[in-house]
Chains A and B, each alone.
Chain A
């Protein structure tokens, strides 16, 4: 969703809904896709917890409810968003009631055409890592501690800009894949600044600004914690080029 003014947004919304009502399925799919954050937010608000994934039951119900709202909505009834929110929350409540009464209810009954599509779209693949994620996190924090890096530092030093972030990750990948740099990093407990500067023509200032973030990434790459590594963009084996996810 791009930024729009409220009135313009309302106009666009109205036009899109009209189009969907007229049977434009493509538009409908795009519309739902656009509104997934809204559905997540709405469901999350209703269950007062974060959704685990887009494969969760609640999200499916949310999607279905949103679809239902889209079908039943009449333009002159008022704001679509609040109507959709209402429908979603009531469906979620219904589901929770049913769930508490009968836990054996098959959830696959909520499959819908669109839902399946979207679920596939947003699924993060398999999480069949054998190492318990908590163990990974424990190790990760331990290692960070060795490098005198706190989580708060990571929060601060995470490059907000995507390019900067990717560059930082790129450095981390190089350090972790280059044996000399990796050894220097592990023995000195700090980034090999001079080498990086020489090799990558990046100012020390820029590196220092993201020091903690890069160290964390190097640690993740070196230790190869699957769950954490899965969160980072993938690079090719040479550590140079970024492969789009």
Chain B
């Protein structure tokens, strides 16, 4: 059917016609439709019909928009306006937060990457520069008790647009001077990550930093991403999960010489921890020693271990040439000079090994001392307890002594000495418990010079013994060592003057608590075991 009509009015989207049947109809506009035109049209030109079509299209568009919206919701909105995001910085304390930055390193928006992050993310970070934002986040974290004095944080930074790799360094420099970090001496590890890491972290729904840790660890596959997500940054750092061979790390501790003290403490902390692990193992074995048979078995174990260790040490001593000098040098070593320290440390290492190889009797003597003289033994330990580090070192000595014992077993008289030692510890136990509980800060004034000398030697040896096996990174570890060893060295010199020690104890106060507590626990375990054995 075609109709003829007169166009009565032309509206924006349609024209109104009066058809030859007397009907008023809306028609779609075609060409230059104007009033008064006589036109012929078909049913298909009627606007209502087309209008329905429009509605359909409109509905389709709306539903399409809804679908896109839903997808956007599912994927997270940050993916949509990401064209404005120039760089991403993540910070992990335990709360993980990610900052999305514009070209001028101003925070466009933030995102909490875990539940804890939600507690601190809403403190008005948008619009701040990244360093201020991090500072404020740290303040917030401190308020909410996520950030403690000994917390360490991991920061990762990636520039998305150009993918420049020096971006992390740039960020590191900016944030290291922020008051929260510089004044509180918070350790910050800035990881250099790339765009791929960012993409991956997004797909795994984790923060950049933790993803990077996971990636580094991925080859060992010793920890799942979930494990890592659950860890505090401090734990990650302390467990040495940041293999610097695999990721470029910028630390404020390296840069800031003022932080030497905390640095020292950190190093000290690291070292004993490793040895402590081994020690704990042995102590645990000791605790299972009430019966004679058990004892024998475990002693055999110990002896094996001792043997192994000895073999390793021997192999290493082959490399050491400057053996005998080392010890003396260690004693004379000035505390301040870094380079010398490093060199010294290496010498020392060698010396230690040599000494270790050549000084078993000496050690035994020393170990026997407490056996024969309860008073002395206690004093010794008291002295150690003043300084947590020394305390640990003492433990190491003990441990080594046990290794010695094991060695002695090799030499044919193992059980005797082992027993002796056992007995010794038992007899000492009363005193020990006392001092452990008190954790007295007083220095044993009456320490014999000779004894402390021995102690120093023992420590030097001890350090040397531990280091090579534990640390692979020679430069950093040797620095640690140098500092570690400088103390015993100094100590042996000035062991008769208590002042020096007090000073030190002040320095060490920070980590003292931690360390002594840990030490106590382990000692207590050991003690229990021993007292059982006695009974």
Contacts and interface: CB of A to CB of B under 8 A. Distances in A.
Nearest to B9: A151
| Dominant SS among interface residues on chain A | helix
Interface of B: 1-2, 4-6, 8-9, 16, 18-27, 30-33, 35-45
Given A124-B4, A127-B38, A151-B8, A49 B23 contact: no
A141 B23 contact: no
Contacts of B5: 231
Chain B CB within 10 Å, residue with most, of A44, A48, A50, A217: A50
Interface string A44-56: 1001111111100
Contacts of A107: none
Contacts of B42: 37, 40-41, 44
Contact of B30 (A48, A124, A137, A213): A48
B217 to A, nearest CB: 66
Interface string A120-132: 0010100100001
A217 B22 contact: yes
Contacts of B4: 53, 122, 124
B9 A134 contact: no
A44 B45 contact: yes
Interface of B is mostly: strand
Interface in A31-72: 36-37, 40-41, 44, 47-54, 59
A233 B30 contact: no
Interface string A207-245: 000000100110000000001101111000000000000
B37 A50 contact: yes
A220 to B, nearest CB: 9
B37 A165 contact: no
Contacts of B36: 132-134, 137
A140 B35 CA distance: 12
| Interface residue tally on A, bucketed by range | 35 or more
B6 A48 contact: no
B6 A228 contact: yes
B31 A52 contact: no
Interface string A144-172: 00000001001100101010010001000
A232 B5 CA distance: 10
Contacts of B45: 41, 44, 50
Contact of B20 (A48, A169, A231): A231
Given A49-B32, A52-B38, A227-B6, 16 more contacts: A36-B2, A37-B2, A40-B40, A40-B41, A44-B41, A44-B45, A47-B31, A48-B30, A50-B33, A53-B40, A59-B40, A122-B40, A133-B6, A165-B22, A216-B24, A228-B18
19 contacts: A40-B42, A48-B31, A49-B32, A50-B39, A50-B40, A52-B39, A52-B40, A122-B4, A124-B38, A134-B36, A137-B35, A137-B36, A151-B8, A154-B24, A158-B24, A165-B21, A217-B22, A231-B22, A233-B22
